[in-house]
Structure 1
Amino acid sequence: MKLISLLFLTLFLGKGCENTKAQEIDAAIIEYVANTRGFYQKIVVEKQQLSISKERDQQDKPVATKISDADWNELINLFQDLNLEEIPDLKSPTEKRFYDGAAIANLKITYKGKIYESKSFDHGFPPVEIKKLVNKINSFAKQNDEN
């Protein structure tokens, strides 16, 4: 009987943790902006919705599209791996943006009323600590361009 109770409790607590993860990213707004003189892209992820703007003056009125469940689950896992407190201190691995070799990019996460914003880095070359998340967000924009 103790074994059954222990298994039930473990299963119940394990499922509770999964819901917590989903709630945590639901409380976040992730914004990725990349721009240079002739290029602008702003990607906003909020509550399993994605909006992409390619105009600085926001004239294009981005339309929110739903992120697939598989992509959303991957994004949840990537978000869980982040240390939000270290985002402002991350160093860019390259400096191509200084000579127009790459667009200037920034990642901003608003989570439970607090803003975590990275220093500028090269579009396509994010700091290692946020690379997987940034690449996943950029993959949404590439998918959107193909459709």
Structure 2
Amino acid sequence: MKTLITSINIILVLSSIHCQHQNKNGNIDKNLTINTQQAKIEKIELTERTRGFHTIITLTPQSKTTSFNGEENKSSLSSSEWESISQQAAAIDLSKISTLQAPTTGRHSDQAMIANLMITSNGTTYTSSDFDSGNPPKELEALYQKVQPPKKE
């Protein structure tokens, strides 16, 4: 009887160790996936439009291009700025970006400009659903804050 109990305890201890080992590997794989996705963000584009106005902000690892009604302004982007912005983009589940729900609907009646974000990662472009300018889905809010144009006063 003692042998049976000892054998069961040994089996339980070994299976517990094995499960913990698998869990650690799973976390490592998850972190590698996030870091790999993060390194592959190639371009981020914010479009805001309404009748008579159209703004496009395009960010790449080297530059920021702002187009307002067709008038372009291009400037360089520092590597630290791009790193910060691309980290925000990498934190988003890009496969679900088109299904994110906008918190408001002012764009349906011209109360707000129509906005959307496009993120190009690993050669694939992911486009968000439309949302009101200044009021993105909560999952996109941090990235939107980093990309949006400065407020005009």
TM-score, normalised to structure 2's length?
0.69
Give the structure 2 partner of residue 98 of structure 1: 108
Poorly superposed stretches of 4+, deviation over 3 Å: 19-23
Select which of 15, 30, 36 maps to 2:50: 36
CA RMSD of aligned residues (A): 2.3
- How many residue pairs get aligned? The number is 120
Structure 2 unmatched runs, 5+: 1-31
TM-aligned CA distance change 1:76 to 1:110, over 3 Å? closer
Q: Show the 5 A alignment for 1:1-147.
A: 23-25=39-41, 28-55=42-69, 58=70, 60=71, 62-138=72-148, 141-142=149-150
Alignment partners' CA distance in 2, 1:41 and 1:67: 19
Structure 1 unmatched runs, 5+: 1-16
TM-superposed deviation, 1:54: 0.4
8 A Cα contact 2:38 2:87, kept in partner:
no
Alignment partners' CA distance in 2, 1:136 and 1:87: 17
8 A Cα contact 1:21 1:76, kept in partner:
no
TM-superposed deviation, 1:73: 2.9
The DSSP-based 3-state class of the residue aligned with 1:64 is: strand
TM-score, normalised to structure 1's length?
0.71
Please identify the structure whose Cα radius of gyration is greater: 2
Cα deviation 1:36-92 (Å, max 9, x = unaligned)? 11321100011231000001xx3x2x2421123443232132122111111011110
